[in-house]
Amino acid sequence: MIRFGLLGFGAIGQLRAESLQQTPGATLSMICERDEKLLALATSKYSAKTTRNYDEMLACDDVDVVIVSTPPNLHRDHCEAAFAHNKHVLCEKPLATTNQDAKAIVEASEKANCVLGTGFNYRFYPAIAKIRELINAGEIGDIDHVRSFAGHPGGPEFTHPWVHKPEIMGGGALMDNGIHVIDLTLHFLGKPTDSMGMATDHTWAFGQSEDNGFLLMRNELGNVASVQASWTEWRGYQFNVEVYGTEGCVRASYPPMLCSVRKKPVGNAKRGRKKSYWFPTFQIKERLKSYRWTIVESFIAEQRDFMLRVGGGVGVGATGIDGLYAVEAARSAAHLECIKTP
Ligand SMILES: NC(=O)c1ccc[n+]([C@@H]2O[C@H](COP(=O)([O-])OP(=O)(O)OC[C@H]3O[C@@H](n4cnc5c(N)ncnc54)[C@H](O)[C@@H]3O)[C@@H](O)[C@H]2O)c1
């Protein structure tokens, strides 16, 4: 059994707790939450020990892994404190609000010789797992470029007032919903050698965080990727990732959970062969139980993958370095200088 401590029992921490109950080989040993009402809720729902003091949780011998589920501006302090107690850390996205803080977290994990993961749970959505499988099976040949999008309507969609505060989030749409698809894009593109971007803030006009961020990245082979992150996607929450190769392309999108592969035309054909994947279990369960069911499922898979890494194995989940690359890429466009006001 691997024993988990959960730091932060807010919106996401509560889903983490639910998913840890269902993760084979995992025990939820301790929950730390500074808000008294939330702490009482944790105590009433779970048999885990509870505390308001994270030093108490970090000093606890019954905790091997800490899930850091606090607001992003606290991640550096909380990760460094966990590593100082030789705990492995799975930290929610974004890893940090600045490049410097993200680097410091990675360095602290290396110094402590502890495993660091970044909570990019979309890697475990079945549509993403399917395009990974198709790419690895050679269905699209060699990767040429990646094109991704993540959007929601911004304002009314924010769960917390701090989501558009750069001092807490580190940026706007690119650091919020965008960071997930930046990670997915780099998951397929590989390490970026260049990234640059532009941004707009004319709709919500938060002043310091972009409504829309447009990012271009390139790897050392010259393959290119573009990402748009939006807080003005009036049709509602959605994301998609498209990977184009020399023999075809794959596309994953959500919601609903879908994936397709389209091959390059051969002979006299105008269009290449197409195959679609529907994931009926996800589509039905999500309708019955809400999108939270999908998140919990992805957390279970992500935690299993992280436990594999703690045991010395190699997983497909995002490492600390992946978290650092995503922050660096987002911040190359998600700052005021990139917003050109007329
Ligand atoms: N993976 C995803 O899809 C996803 C989605 C949304 C948010 N997130 C990320 O998850 C993290 C948490 O977001 P959230 O929406 O749950 O925020 P939240 O504000 O609902 O929860 C954070 C909790 O941390 C607690 N906290 C803060 N400092 C603490 C301390 N020192 N000791 C104990 N408790 C402390 C707060 O009281 C709060 O309850 C953020 O990094 C966010 O970006 C991830």
Specify if 303 maps to a domain: no
pTM: 0.97
Domain end residue (candidates: 121, 146, 175): 121
Percentage of the chain with pLDDT > 90?
92
Distance 81 CA to ligand 1 centre (A): 17
Residue 224 has pLDDT above 60, yes or no: yes
101 with 175, same domain: the answer is: no
pLDDT given for residue 339 in this prediction: 62
* pLDDT averaged over every residue in the chain: 95
66 with 164, same domain: the answer is: no
What SS3 string covers the chain? Answer: CEEEEEECCCHHHHHHHHHHHCCCCEEEEEEECCCHHHHHHHHHHCCCEEECCHHHHHCCCCCCEEEECCCHHHHHHHHHHHHHCCCEEEEECCCCCCHHHHHHHHHHHHHHCCCEEEECHHHHCHHHHHHHHHHHCCCCCCEEEEEEEEECCCHHHCCCHHHHCHHHHCCCCCCCCHHHHHHHHHHHHCCEEEEEEEEECCCCCCCCCCCEEEEEEEECCCCEEEEEEECCCCCCCEEEEEEEECCEEEEEEECCCEEEEEECCCCCCCCCCEEEECCHHHHHHHHHHCHHHHHHHHHHHHHHHHHHHHCCCCCCCCEHHHHHHHHHHHHCCCCHHHECCC
By mean pLDDT, which of 13-17, 23-27, 132-136, 165-169 is the weakest?
165-169
Residue 125 has pLDDT above 50, yes or no: yes
Specify if 89 maps to a domain: yes
Residue range 268-284: mean pLDDT, rounded: 95
pLDDT given for residue 238 in this prediction: 97
Specify if 305 maps to a domain: no
Which of 92, 124, 183, 300 to mutate to test ligand 1, by most ligand atoms within 8 A of the CB atom?
Answer: 92
Specify if 104 maps to a domain: yes
Distance 12 CA to ligand 1 centre (A): 6
47 with 161, same domain: the answer is: no
Q: Tell me the pLDDT tens digit for each residue of 73-90.
A: 999 999 999 999 999 999
pLDDT given for residue 341 in this prediction: 52
Domain end residue (candidates: 95, 121, 147): 121
> What CATH number does the domain containing 136 carry?
3.30.360.10
Residue 247 has pLDDT above 70, yes or no: yes
Residue range 144-156: mean pLDDT, rounded: 95
15 with 150, same domain: the answer is: no
Residue range 232-255: mean pLDDT, rounded: 97
Domain count, the chain: 2
Residue 116 has pLDDT above 70, yes or no: yes
273 with 153, same domain: the answer is: yes
196 with 98, same domain: the answer is: no
> What CATH number does the domain containing 29 carry?
3.40.50.720
97 with 233, same domain: the answer is: no
pLDDT given for residue 336 in this prediction: 52
Specify if 261 maps to a domain: yes
Specify if 314 maps to a domain: no
155 with 59, same domain: the answer is: no
Q: Please give the residue range of the domain that contains residue 16.
A: 2-121
186 with 332, same domain: the answer is: yes
Using CA positions, which residue lies closest to atom 43 of ligand 1?
Answer: 93
88 with 10, same domain: the answer is: yes
Distance 197 CA to ligand 1 centre (A): 28
Specify if 255 maps to a domain: yes
Q: Tell me the pLDDT tens digit for each residue of 89-108.
A: 999 999 999 999 999 999 99
Residue 117 has pLDDT above 50, yes or no: yes
Domain end residue (candidates: 62, 92, 121): 121
pLDDT band at 342 (very low <50, low <70, confident <90, very high): very low
101 with 168, same domain: the answer is: no
Distance 80 CA to ligand 1 centre (A): 17
Residue 229 has pLDDT above 70, yes or no: yes
Ligand 1 cavity residues, CB under 6 Å: 7-13, 32-35, 38, 54, 69-72, 74, 92-93, 119, 121, 159-160
